[in-house]
Structure 1
């Protein structure tokens, strides 16, 4: 393989003594201790290069498939999706309704699971592009040799740069990391999706012209997610809003400048619509540079028009003199002006110029506005309630004691009474704590941003750990006190979208009752109506998985959606879901198309938000072709589910199947919780995994624990999953299901297995859950895991717990194989098996070194010389498995 040969060349120059790790990984254990670090560097680099090569090959295969068989045969494409929709006899009117209402929002989160710096990502992108260049047959042998030399240089640079962060990134650096993907790929490729969508519609619904609008918008948590992150302050959020705005405004200025250069139609060659010429003059007058622009390109109105728009945009966000007559421009006006230019070109028989030059810029403004992303704000309900408690004391200075207890009936009654009161003026709360000052200042920043040129720069306010209706109403009350209500008396309509986040198993079960109460509340009802009659609810995959195990969490998430949709329907409100998925199976990860197709019928209905975090962002969006493919899968899957799910037999609820899945889910929960609550598990977890050392891997700005607590319940889901994957237990993806299957099958015998096989064949959700459990079982390795178990000092406890874990792994795998009819795990997933078996020897060696280094660092109490190779083992294992958290 070309990349392997080039890497060998670099190794021979940099450290020839570690060539064994790439040629014969099984012999690597004989390497001298001082060679472990460069050997790990080779493993890390090879895994990165392999991922790049596989990404390039996948893109090439998709192109070949489209060329050979046509776009309908490319899975995940719009053409494939609408072929399916047309074959199901979905009416053109229903398709147009979906086109008019679809709203798909990938949300870039600040979750700390990306180990690669932007510098390394940029090197990876250059390697990818050079691989793509080398595929061209146009190069002479001499030119090809030169390209190979350049590619080798990039690999050498990767060696010399180093992947491990030496310092923890700041939130500001995370903001720039997130915007890197917009500048490199998302600005460009998101809009091109509209062309693919239009072509697919023309292919399958040629008799009906359809109106196409961008199906995607973006949100971000980076700089807005302050849940447990003390480094996200009001100033940081202000900085994020500014940087997000600057990124797209700079691009739009360039795009308008390009239009001014390209659309050079002259009044001496063609007649212009009079209404458009008047519009041109108006824009020139509003630019503040009427004389300068008016005297330029006298016979070329489009050039003057686009120049005036560019000047207005630059001055809206710039400093200094604006000029006589200048007026700032907002997103709605710019969209309208660009549409007017398209219509003028169409009237001039220049439809192609309108659709290829102007329309893509309009679509960019519709998608990205003056914000790039809508910045979500996330805060924990405990913080909201503590600040409200301070305010209660300010409003009731003569009352004795501390007032009503948070969460009590009296507490909720006080909140509702305050919401019902008219507000003549905004109160000023002086002498409050730093925490209260920060939260109130944040809400004021939100108010000022919503009042600005792009109100959508602020997304939703997400309330993590929502456990009661009062938790949500409390945020409405704070919004009222900070001028975020739209009506004069601040009694009816809140201008921020409040989104409750239900995370644990108990929270998911309580969600229907909480939402029933909220949707009946007058302020919530009028506020939801103000925001289009749609209430968003966020579902936490990570914490529910950590709390109840993968299978139980999957069931509870599905059930919560089904119940919430019914509650919304009864209240006359559309419920849409924000899926808080991570990259790994244990944090809700699954193939995008299959995960969406398996959602309960009618629960998407054109609207879907999903988190994209850490290394998932770079794997999906680092390169343009891959980014476009992943975005197309996401949007196309939402279209298909919206148009077909109600009638699909695989999504219809079968009472017998439902009862069986519920029984198995509850049994798996009991067995998972029995392990999680075992008195020896906390010590086992800390000693048999690198969870404590994880803090030294500078993945992100956020602390690993909420509020500095030490227990498993307070440990964040990411380090919980990270640690169990590093030590190759991966028990968060399967533990408890083997016990549950046994409990289900023993009294039912052959009839029980027959029912499970029927569910596996006919229920899309059950099959997806089984598939993802099987992948976790396959990636787990009990022989490697046993090496970590030997790190636990209490040998009696360690042997007892590991025996439980190994036995459950064997039991679960045995039942899965009986259910699927396979002879070995992941026989059905040839791609995953082929890829992992190729890297398994290197990953296993990285695990062995990690165990060795954990022993030595713990014995030496954090010897700095050992820390770097230890951190490198973490990166290697994560890269081999495909994700960190």
Structure 2
């Protein structure tokens, strides 16, 4: 330890770490990774870097621990006293630390999951098996099993720019996580030392890797990023979830009979299809996205089929083939004679092995577009696989039939030949503009030609990969039935008089408060339109309706938006049931609380009766994709938990509880809605609010960060919030450590209700209210009033700053009274521990960000901004995002 890092510094840091209630093995991981990072900083950083990092770390811990103004001022003085170049290095060091702590925390979660080994917890919503047990008790075995087998969980990956990490950084973090796993398994000191040397190398690589992208990723880059999650996690983990659930249901009989579980996960993607406000997503990009996804899944299926085929070394004497299998062999052999002869030579009396190996060649031919051998669609492949499976069962080889072969069947059923259903999204105003051009009859604009080409591209994708590959078309800002009918008009226009338009399921997206209220009326009108009604009948009266969490929250504030979304779901569900429609509500949620973030399973269980009915679809975006699906064990646990909640949401007891609570606390909801909206409007509709917001947060600078291909706002002005996207609106307040979008207006709303006993009763008995309060507690725990004050001081509106701080105090006080706790998140100790462990380190980055922001704000408008200060600001943005995690 260098002499300049004094004993007092060591004591402060050591004492803080020791006081955190961290499991011992996780504490050891954090200590090891932190020590290795310290070594890297001493070896690879500039002289004195390690000492400066430790000094700032100790100062922010001291300020966080004793909460005195003097300690905070001392920490701020250290941050302000660093040169810009040294601040750059310090920000990178703290960001690297967050990445390593996140790795250690995730590793602990995986460790706990493996120790539980999938056993059911006391919470019925913890696993599908325990949820099914409760449903069976309420509805009977047959009905419960029927609901399990008809269940759907449909996550849709989007490319919204909330993932601040580069792919190279993510890859380095993943390798460190794998080494931490190896470290657990290393039994000897020598092996552990080798693993630690590998960790040191990877942490050094992480340190030396540029943390910021040099340019924004293209939409195709974003497609490939999502493909990495599929390749590394989802392809194997989704069928593993099915297997785990089936094991729980069948016990010792699992594997000796047909599985009870039917594939219930369907993946969707907007990456390469969402063009609302993103001019870089063209028809060509959409076509590339579909081709890339198909290439990945067909490669995966081909390799799996080869592996399964090679393992089916069952002799015909012990496992005689069925007549259907022999007929299938003849068909395959005649189509692929040379390969069949070679395979038969290597497997002379292994008919099932021979067939599956030839099937792998047909999958490969599908990928390479060899018309002589290619499958027409995944159903054709499934039919062949089931012939093999039935033959194995008839031959007595049930374990082989329902083992690895079943996993391959599950993968084909889940992913098809397209991997994820590519969805197109466009703004309703764009459709109206293009139709006006068509009606005028003159030359079409470039935008109009592009819009029409999208429909032709969707038709081509359907012809190439099947209808499941593409066909959902989301209309942003749906405000009338005509907005939905316009999609069918454009599809017909694009096809021309002799062409066939694509088969489309047109999905309304209701986003604003007004549109949510109008949703039932608009839906009642659209089902009467001929094209829409025709498609509705063709699907067995299935209908999707999307609800926007982001813009509704920005429109009327988080409290009124939450209540409006609940009421819209209730009314839409009632309308659908009354009209014999099988409804799927599509939740446009983000990771941050201002965008519907928070635990998905508790949100599902708080939904209105019949609004889930065994079907749950939501957007998964930015850092949430990697947090939930980036590792196999975490992905399996997440899917199992969400599926359990989806299944349990239709239990009569849950539906009755939610309905009774909504009725019982209707007056509370009404008061909260009116008061929170009034308070929110007093802030955001105040004269000059928008430019003030852009001044007191790094909103403008976030637009410079190469997070994603989408522009940060639809226009160039910050005079109005109308053109500002919901994502930077949320992201900016998070960076300023205020988190306003998740809680503003709640304190006033609760005060207006006034009855403390009634509110505590609502917290106990009303799931929607409890979820809201718990999520706000998390948002406030990650906020920091002392730092927030410094951001708010960047503007010249003391009245607005005081309004924000007053509401923060009011909301915090009310939440603590309702929960009956002395601290925020006292009822969620694991989350509380994670927030406390990170907060002082996030504070250090916030102080560096403030230092850069103050200097940039002081730069005269006619002078160019200092690029070093801009870089420091962007580095701190990336670091704060890594530290707070659910930021976008």
TM-score, normalised via structure 1 length: 0.90
Displacement of 1:743 in angstroms is 2.6
Equivalent position of 1:679 in the other structure: 687
Contact 2:237 2:636 in 1 (8 A): yes
Query: Which sits farther off after the overlay, 837-846 or 29-38?
Result: 29-38
State whether structure 2 residue 525 is matched by structure 1 residue 525: no
Is the contact made by 1:339 and 1:359 (CA closer than 8 Å) also made in structure 2? no
TM superposition shift of 1:213: 1.1
Number of the residue aligned with 1:716: 725
**Rounded Cα–Cα distance in structure 2 between residues aligned with 1:334 and 1:871:** 49
Q: Say whether the 8 Å CA contact 1:850–1:873 is kept in structure 2.
A: yes
SS of residue matched to 2:587:
strand
By how many angstroms is 1:83 displaced? 3.7
2:470 matched to which residue of 1? 458
Which secondary structure state, in structure 2, belongs to the residue aligned with residue 723 of structure 1?
Answer: helix
1:317 is displaced (CA, Å) by 3.2
CA pair 210-641 structure 1, distance change in 2 beyond 3 A:
farther
Matches of 1:827 and 1:294 in 2, distance apart? 64
Superposed displacement of residue 803, structure 1: 1.0
1:89: how far off?
3.3
Distance 1:472 1:874 in 2: 39
Provide, for residues 385-404 of structure 1, a one-character-per-residue CA deviation record: whole Å limited to 9, x for no partner: 1111112122xx8xxxxxxx
Q: CA deviation at 1:814?
A: 1.7
1:22 and 1:42 in contact (8 A); partners too: no
Q: How does 1:389-404 map to 2 (within 5 A)?
A: 389-394=436-441
The 5 Å alignment of 1:435-584 reads: 435-483=447-495, 495-584=503-592
Cα shift at 1:312: 2.0
1:243 aligns with 2:255: no
Q: Which residue of 2 aligns with 1:424?
A: none
Residue 262 in 1 paired to residue 311 in 2?
yes
Partner of 1:304: 354
Shift of 1:722: 0.8
Structure 1, 627-636 or 640-649: larger mean CA deviation: 640-649
1:162-193 Cα offsets, whole Å, 9 max, x none, are 32111111111101001000000000101111
CA positional deviation for 1:495: 2.0
Which residue of 1 is the match for residue 112 of structure 2?
A: 61
Residues 75-86 of structure 1: pairs in structure 2 closer than 5 A: 76-86=126-136
- Indicate yes or no: 2:188 matched with 1:106: no
The unaligned stretches of length 5 or more in structure 1 are: 398-430, 746-751
C-alpha separation between the residues in 2 aligned to 1:566 and 1:194?
A: 32
Between 1:274-283 and 1:197-206, the stretch displaced more is 197-206
Report the Cα distance in structure 1 between the residues aligned to 2:56 and 2:444, rounded to whole angstroms: 64
Equivalent residues of 1:689, 1:727 under 8 A apart: yes
Residue aligning to 2:66: none
CA contact (8 A) 1:72 1:83 kept: no
User: In 1, Cα distance between the equivalents of 2:281 and 2:528?
Assistant: 34
1:121 and 1:622 in contact (8 A); partners too: no
Contact 2:363 2:375 in 1 (8 A): yes
Q: Is the 8 A contact 1:115 1:165 kept in 2?
A: no
Instruction: Name the counterpart of 1:737.
Output: 746
3-state SS of 1:376 partner: strand
Secondary structure of the residue that 1:162 maps to in structure 2? Answer: coil
Corresponding residue of 2:179: 130
Write the distance in 2 (CA, Å) between the matches of 1:762 and 1:181: 38
**CA–CA distance in 2 between the matches of 1:704 and 1:816?**
33
Q: Which runs of 5 or more residues in structure 2 are unaligned?
A: 1-30, 60-74
1:816 equivalent in alignment to 2:815: yes
Match of 2:190 among 142, 146, 150: 142
Candidates 241, 244, 247, aligned match of 1:193:
241
Cα RMSD, aligned residues only: 2.4
Shift of 1:380: 0.5
- Measured after TM superposition, the shift of residue 601 of structure 1 is 1.8
Q: Which residue of 1 aligns with 2:417?
A: 370
Contact 2:314-2:352 within 8 A present in 1 as well: yes
**Aligned partner (choices 47, 57, 63) of residue 25 of structure 1:** 57
1:525-553 deviations in Å (ceiling 9; x for gaps): 22112123211000000111111111111
Name the residue aligned to 1:336. 383
The alignment's TM-score, normalised by the length of structure 2, stands at 0.89
Change (3 A) 1:515 1:204: farther
Q: Could you tell me which of 38, 44, 49 is aligned with 1:14?
A: 44
**Residue number in structure 1 paired with 2:16:** none
The correspondence for 1:879, drawn from 857, 878, 882, is 882
SS of aligned partner of 2:108? helix
CA, structure 1 residues 339+145, in 2 after alignment: closer, same or farther (shift >3 Å)? same
Distance 1:181 1:656 in 2: 44
In structure 2, relative to structure 1, the CA distance for the partners of 1:289 and 1:528 (3 Å cut) is farther
Find out whether 1:49 has 2:100 as its counterpart. yes
Structure 2 CA distance for aligned equivalents of residues 327 and 259 of structure 1: 20
Measure the CA separation in 1 of the matches of 2:330 and 2:653. 51
Deviation, 1:288, is 6.9
Separation (CA, whole Å) in 2 of partners of 1:236 and 1:578: 24
**3-state secondary structure, aligned to 1:642:** coil
Deviations 1:477-496 (A, max 9, x none): 122334499xx999xx9821
Between 825-834 and 588-597, report the one with greater CA deviation.
Answer: 825-834
What's the CA shift for 1:646? 5.4
Q: Report the Cα distance in structure 1 between the residues aligned to 2:252 and 2:306, rounded to whole angstroms.
A: 36
> In structure 2, what is the equivalent of residue 252 of structure 1?
301
Contact 2:459 2:502 in 1 (8 A): no
Counterpart of 2:435? 388
Q: Deviations for 1:797-833, whole angstroms, at most 9, x for unmatched residues?
A: x211111111111112222222222223332232222
How many residues align structurally?
830
| More deviation, 287-296/474-483 | 287-296
Task: Give 1:47 shift.
Answer: 0.7
